[in-house]
Structure 1
Amino acid sequence: MPLLTLSSNVSLNYEINFQDPLTKERKETDSPADCPVSKPWLLVLHPIWLDLTWDRPITTDQDYLERFNIIAFDQRAHGRTQSVISVCNDLNTLAADMAFAIQKLTLPPVNVLASNSWASDIAIRLAAVFPEKVHSLFLCGLAPDKYTDSVNGAIRECFACLTTPETAEDWDEVRIGALHYFFFGGVPLDGGLMSVIDEWTGPMLRRYPPSKALDCGAVGLTEMSRKPDTKALKESVVAPVMILHGKDSSVFTAGEAVERFSGYSNVGEGSKLKLVDDAPLLLVPMHLDVIKEEFFEWIQPKLKRQAQSPQSLVPSQSNFQDNLLTLARIFDNPEIAQRDPFTSDSFHTVRSSEEPGLKALLDMLESRQSQSFSLYGGGAPESWTDASLEEKLPWR
């Protein structure tokens, strides 16, 4: 897998898929120059906690590749991306990483498909702060503008159980319980749903055990530091937007999604929100056919207009100083404008007064993560802990 170095702090793992014009077969490449220049680009954003492999049912699908060159990244602190853990990472930083990557790869403005509500928040910030990089947004789920006290409490409880569990059961159960609560609330557990939950929780078992609490904390902070949309942010999104939202979602409800989307007064022509019957919040991978049908029907007129404008396929150049000023204005934070505009590390909304508390949290996680226990009894630490070989295999 190729790595794209954005700064000394982050190198993004990425994957490009395209359809060979002659054989019509799917191909992978490290270089956008290998892709058909006449095709628009689709950027697919994966959910927080997972990686780009979650979206391969989309990024490798021939129907999508007929229409797009497709690129996907492992976000900062995710997957195979290499990044330095910092308190100053939030959803805006992840969005800025995408903008800097688009510029470094000399891509034209992209159409964005966000595969869950957390990815949708990244896409919205990308479109608001870097509008020159985005043609359209297709969002699979939209969280409420402001979380309820019960949701905030659930997030804190889940975070604590993942990073500083009292028992192995606390950690093991929260992976499944949290996923069902947030993404499948209101939907009965059955065999198909359990396989999806297993598919989601597998990466968390491997990547975020208690012995890697610091890594888990770096990801969790992006969601825990989430700030409600400001009026200025909503007014800054001018690209066309379509949202698919599961009608049966009981935590991030359809009504809350409708209410939040109604505040985006400047979105482009054809913007709309559609509810999916008999569907939870998480639509990938259980509702891929619905996503494909709705996305293609919605995007086709826009692709025709883009094809009539040669400029739409020309690489866009951002003035990152202007983008940084936009972020400062959107969140009414003058500190932001004083930072270095030539690194995506600067594009965050963490105030200097907040940094000591966040650093103390990460320091605590780092001190706790060396503690280990056995998930399956017997007292021997699991293979992913930092315990010695003798401790892991006492029977030898």
Structure 2
Amino acid sequence: MPYIDFVSKDDRISLWYVTNTRHGGTGDFELAKPVVVMLHPLFLDSTWLATQFEDPRLYTRFNLIAFDMRSAGRSTARPSGAHDTWVDAADLAFAIQALGLPSAHFFAVENISVNAALRIAALFPELCSSLTLINVPPPTELEWVFEMYGELLNMWCHPQDLDEFDHALLELTNCLLGKVLPLDSTPELQDELVAFWSLTYPPWRRSRVYEVMHCVLNRTPLSDRVLACVTQPTLIIQSDKTDINPIKYAERLSKQLVNVEGKARVHVIKGSPEYVTLVPTCASIVNRVFAEFLSRQTNLYIPVTLQMISPTERRERAQEALEKLADLMEDPSIAERDPASALSFSCVTPEVLQSQSDVLSRQALNEREAFSPLGMDGRPCRRFSERYNDHWFQAEKEDAPHSYQLNKEEKLKALENLVTRTEYLSTSAKDANGEYLSAQEPVSSEVARTGRLRRSTISKHVVEKATIGGAGFAPTTVIANTIHMTKMFNYK
């Protein structure tokens, strides 16, 4: 199986990877082709890179390999509050070294992948020949995005019923797909996304959702010293119809990469949403621009040689990277950590570490007993696009208790206001010093800290696994055991 395992005193991780070879391994790589490492979009996994793996402009010219990041897809890891994108970068470096891959061209899509690629280029430059960054995020999340993810996190992981769970995922797809491509953003694509999230990140696996959100919401900006370490040729591809990652931050990053060979170039994809690599027409443009960028690299046609290095050599190289990271972070204690563990590369502060560890412990408690949006066959109960045609979800409004309706409607309306920003962006928020912040500007470290403490105290507001309700539908009692499940519907 295409897994690669790393075990240390404080960490245990199994990374899943897939290649474009017949048997899915690296042993079948063609030595005359360069290697491209692909990192998947936010909240998804390597299966959503099919538009790249199936493009003949890429799979016929390059050896392609894609990894599922920690807490994503088929990769498994022990939950840790120390997880940040420095740890993701170390995971990738360890995996590339263990597989004996040569210096590769990185294709990183969106938030976590982009941050991990920049960090691996700074700490392990010999493993990276070039960088292609898709939708560069701001240094920290924008104010409205920060608040939106906080609301989505609560509804996603602790829904009152199936409708509320579906609504949270609907708002997420509206943000990431947008409404600018009605022909390409078909209901089928939305159905696939919601089904994937229902299977991969259901409420009974909420600790994985929280761990991903920690990497997104609690990240710290890269310093100029770190960015100065990036010297590889860099291409930035940015969507022009994404409000989550505005173009100005891509242009700002291109100027901060002062030591990049030939300067970093920004290519804008017109009319594209955040998930630019999922929409076929936009993905085709991305693949063309990426292939043209690689064709201009002087080291592209150097024959590939797989060089297996011993565990001792990998440990020595990891120790060098830790010493470099300690110098960049101005924290000598980092160099004294265990080089065999990817968690040793974590740069979260002790306060953030404690907060994230507490949240993960709280969310992992009895999470297997949480509400499940899946049926007895382990598949989604219904197609998302057909949810309004399901007759037993179409009871009259007065059939449900008034307080139940009001509570749910208020939360859904508040979330819609955050996502659409029709009201939120017309106002301003104050930080801890009483200064006004634009909702379209990155949050400060103080605001992020306050939000982190607020998120860590969110309490579970529903009885787990007990209700499957719809609009105007009375709560349903579900009694489950290891043999059968009995459903009792109490109609008015």
- Aligned letter for 1:170? E
Distance between the aligned counterparts of 1:228 and 1:270, measured in 2?
21
Q: Choose the corresponding residue for 2:198, options 191, 202, 205.
A: 205
Are 2:274 and 1:295 equivalent residues in the alignment?
no
Matches for 1:22-171 after TM superposition, within 5 Å: 27-30=22-25, 32-171=26-165
Asked if 2 retains the 8 angstrom alpha-carbon contact of 1:185 and 1:250, the reply is no
User: For residues 118 and 198 of structure 1, what CA distance do their matches in structure 2 show?
Assistant: 24
Q: 1:192 to 1:352 in 2, by over 3 A?
A: closer
Measured in 2, the distance between the counterparts of 1:197 and 1:128 equals 36
Change (3 A) 1:105 1:173: same
The alignment status of 1:240 with 2:233, answered yes or no, reads: yes
What does residue 178 of structure 1 align with?
A: 172
| Structure 1 residues 366 and 142, CA gap change in structure 2 (3 angstroms) | same
Residue type at the aligned position of 1:273 = V
Partner amino acid for 1:388? N
Specify the alignment match of 2:486 in structure 1. 393
1:333 match: 331
Rounded Cα–Cα distance in structure 2 between residues aligned with 1:3 and 1:314:
18
- Percent identity of equivalent pairs: 25
Q: Give secondary structure in 2 for the equivalent of 1:393.
A: strand
- TM-score for both structures, normalised by structure 1: 0.87
- Which of 230-239 and 197-206 deviates more? 197-206
Whole-angstrom CA distance in 2 between matches of 1:227 and 1:285: 28
Does residue 260 of the first structure (1) align with residue 258 of the second (2)?
A: no
Give the deviation of 1:198 after TM superposition: 2.6
Counterpart residue type for residue 476 of structure 2: G
CA distance in 2, matches of 1:177, 1:244: 25
Q: Which amino acid aligns with 1:197?
A: Q
Instruction: Work out the CA distance in 2 between the residues paired with 1:380 and 1:171.
Output: 17
Aligned partner of 1:101: which letter? A
Deviation digits for residues 317-370 of structure 1, max 9, x if unmatched? Answer: 761112112223333333322211122221211233332221211122123633
Q: CA deviation at 1:134?
A: 0.3
**One of 372, 379, 383 as aligned partner of 2:476:** 379
**In structure 2, the residue corresponding to 1:248 is in which secondary structure?**
coil
Paired with 1:52 and 1:251, the residues of 2 have a C-alpha distance of: 22
Deviation at 1:275, TM superposition (A): 0.8
SS in 2 for 1:114: strand
Q: Distance in 1 between matches of 2:329 and 2:174?
A: 32
Corresponding residue for residue 3 of structure 1: 3
Asked whether the 8 Å contact 1:247–1:275 carries over to 2, the reply is yes
Q: Which residue number in structure 1 is paired with residue 320 of structure 2?
A: 322
Range with greater deviation from structure 2 (196-205 or 5-14): 196-205
Output the aligned Cα RMSD: 2.6
**Structure 1 residue 214: Cα displacement:** 1.7
Is 1:215 the equivalent of 2:208? yes
Q: 1:283 aligns with which of 261, 268, 276?
A: 276
Q: 2: distance between equivalents of 1:232 and 1:179?
A: 36
Amino acid at match of 2:134: C
The offset of 1:97, in angstroms, is 0.7
Contact 1:180 1:197 in 2 (8 A): no
| One-letter code aligned to 2:14 | S
Q: How far does residue 89 in structure 1 lie from its aligned partner after superposition?
A: 1.0
- How far apart, CA to CA, are the structure 2 residues paired with 1:119 and 1:109? 18
1:116–1:284 Cα contact (<8 Å) kept:
no
User: C-alpha distance in 2, partners of 1:73/1:314?
Assistant: 18
**Residues 15 and 28, structure 1, Cα contact 8 Å, conserved in 2:** no
State the partner residue of 2:400. Answer: none
How far apart, in 2, do the equivalents of 1:172 and 1:351 lie? 35
SS in 1 for 2:23: strand
Shift of 1:282: 1.8
Q: Is the 8 A contact 2:42 2:111 kept in 1?
A: no
Deviation of the 1:216 alpha carbon: 1.9
**Contact map agreement 1:248 1:277 (CA 8 A) in 2:** yes
Q: Give the letter for the 1:305 counterpart.
A: N
Which stretch of structure 1 is more off in the superposition, 40-49 or 61-70?
61-70
Task: Give the match for residue 351 of structure 2.
Answer: 353
Identify unmatched segments of 5+ residues in structure 2: 370-463
The answer for the alignment partner of 1:366 in structure 2 is 364
1:191-250 CA deviation, whole Å, 9 max, x = no partner?
734433332222211122222222222222221221112111211111111011111222
Q: CA shift at 1:189, angstroms?
A: 5.2
**AA at the equivalent of 1:137:** L
- In the TM superposition, 1:263-274 aligns within 5 A as 263-269=256-262, 271-274=264-267
Q: Normalised by the size of structure 2, how large is the TM-score?
A: 0.71
- Counterpart secondary structure, 1:234: helix
Task: Give the Å deviation of 1:380.
Answer: 4.7
Which residues of structure 1 form unaligned runs of 5+? Answer: 19-26
Q: What is the CA distance between 1:186 and its match in structure 2?
A: 6.4
Q: C-alpha separation between the residues in 2 aligned to 1:285 and 1:130? A: 29
Q: Aligned in 2, Cα 1:364/1:16: closer, same or farther, shift over 3 Å?
A: same
* Closer, same or farther: CA 151–329 of 1 in aligned 2, 3 Å: farther
Q: Kindly indicate whether the alpha-carbon contact (under 8 Å) linking 2:160 and 2:467 is maintained by their aligned counterparts in 1.
A: no
